Amino acid sequence: MFEILRTVKFSENIDGKKVNIAVRFTNYTEKVFLFDLDLIKLVNSKGDIPEELKGKAKKVKRYEIFFKKSIHDKIKQGKIITPDYTAFRKFSAKVLSQSIYTILKDVHTKILKDTDLKTVNISVINRYLDGNLACHVYSKSTPQNIEIEMSGSALAGRIYFPWLYSHRADISFLEKTLVHELEHHIEHLRGLYQREEEGQKKISALVDKGSISPVLPVIYERFCNLYTEGIAMFIEKKKSATVLHDSSVNKKLVQSLEKMSLAESKKEADDIYLAEFCPDSETGEYYMGYMMCYFIGLSIAKKNGKDTIKTGKKSSIALTALKDYLAQSQKVLLDQLDEKTYNETYSILSRMNHYTEFLNAYYAACRELGIDCSLMDPAFYKSIIINAKAKKIVALKNIAES
């Protein structure tokens, strides 16, 4: 009974197919909801945040609960919000389901075309997702059923409270997030995660034998993600007008990937990953994979006859001058790919079966564009794998000799 009351259900026919959506709130309790409301008030009133809440406020400020001027102004004007957990569940479940129906109809149309999808189950959870608003649960997803976990705090912070305070819910952010997660569902149906698991099993068997370093599984996952997160970011950012190329970020990520590959233990590699390489989903393999997809797309545009590119300031440069332009300053803006190129690129990317195909496509794109492979080049890739495989042997040898 309790479970039924806490689940909001919808049903819609799309091209003759009935798709049910169930949004379950059992794991986002009223207690956490009320706590989040207090946190939102604190963050947005710009008052002193109590010491015990500082860590939590910092952790969630970018993706879930964050400062918004429109909320700040309403709080300053004395607007009082009475929290209503039931109204929150109804409102956010409706917005969520409408977003999913729109994406199934207009963006990821192949999900309905290629599968007999019947249900989408969304579990709204208490846990803060550290830089992710949602998560596709591939272990529970099948062609008939999609399972997604969604941060309740994100629904409160991005959708419900901004709506209550200023009638401005962050729908586009929610849609981008769901487009990203449903891309992971497509990757799952393509068997990518199963193949990754099989690869990890083989590596683990060698690690267990002591013949390779326990760092390799961490590195292998980064390369798999480079491709899967890269495409998910690529499709998520389709509507962004420009792309920011930041050579200092490239450099930092390449350095920390190398550092990870040289770690002495799995724990050390994991720590470097979380602290430096990918503390949130705007960096790490998300950023690298996305930029690789973008340059692959740009090389396709060039092959199709495009010879100039806008640089975000109304001015254009010849694509032959791209290398010099990228070297000109640390941060440069480039125009987004046109829709036709975007679709062609996505369709090429979606046919790849392994991350090495993706890396090869990136190397070829850099050659076509005459730019340095600053995110990854064949020699660097090789050195990372050699480091990640060999370190433990060196470490064991050192122990044996000492």
Query: Where do contacts with Zn ion occur on this chain (CB under 5 A)?
Result: 229, 232
Considering the complex, what minimum distance in angstroms separates the CB of residue 137 from Zn ion? 12
Nearer residue to Zn ion within complex by CB, 132 or 213: 132
* Rg (alpha carbons) of the chain, rounded to whole number: 23
Residue carrying the six token digits 């806008």: 310
Alpha-carbon distance of 169 to 99, in angstroms, equals 13
Considering the complex, what minimum distance in angstroms separates the CB of residue 31 from Zn ion? 29
Q: Measuring CA to CA, which residue among 255, 91, 253, 210 is closest to residue 162?
A: 91
Nearer residue to Zn ion within complex by CB, 11 or 172: 172
DSSP tag of 374: -
Considering the complex, what minimum distance in angstroms separates the CB of residue 161 from Zn ion? 25
Q: Measuring CA to CA, which residue among 6, 277, 5 is closest to residue 126?
A: 6
Nearer residue to Zn ion within complex by CB, 180 or 302: 180
Alpha-carbon distance of 376 to 366, in angstroms, equals 10
| 243 touches 368 (CB < 8 A) | no
Nearer residue to Zn ion within complex by CB, 94 or 239: 239
Considering the complex, what minimum distance in angstroms separates the CB of residue 276 from Zn ion? 19
Nearer residue to Zn ion within complex by CB, 156 or 232: 232
Cα atoms found within 13 Å of the Cα of residue 297, Cβ hemisphere only: 29
Considering the complex, what minimum distance in angstroms separates the CB of residue 184 from Zn ion? 6
CA angle 149, 154, 160 (to 5 degrees): 120
DSSP track, 75-99: HHTT------HHHHHHHHHHHHHHH
Considering the complex, what minimum distance in angstroms separates the CB of residue 324 from Zn ion? 34
Closest-approach residue to Zn ion (CB): 232
Nearer residue to Zn ion within complex by CB, 36 or 285: 285
Considering the complex, what minimum distance in angstroms separates the CB of residue 229 from Zn ion? 5
Sequence-distant (≥ 6) Cβ neighbours of residue 371 within 8 angstroms: 295, 322, 323, 326
3-class state of residue 18 by DSSP: strand
- What is the tally of helices (H) and strands (E) in the chain? 18, 9
Nearer residue to Zn ion within complex by CB, 122 or 232: 232
Both structure tokens of 226: 């480079």
Nearer residue to Zn ion within complex by CB, 221 or 229: 229
Nearer residue to Zn ion within complex by CB, 36 or 149: 149
Considering the complex, what minimum distance in angstroms separates the CB of residue 142 from Zn ion? 19
| 176 touches 236 (CB < 8 A) | yes
| 102 touches 1 (CB < 8 A) | no
Helix (H) or strand (E) holding 258: helix 247-261
3-class state of residue 271 by DSSP: helix
Considering the complex, what minimum distance in angstroms separates the CB of residue 325 from Zn ion? 30
| 260 touches 273 (CB < 8 A) | yes
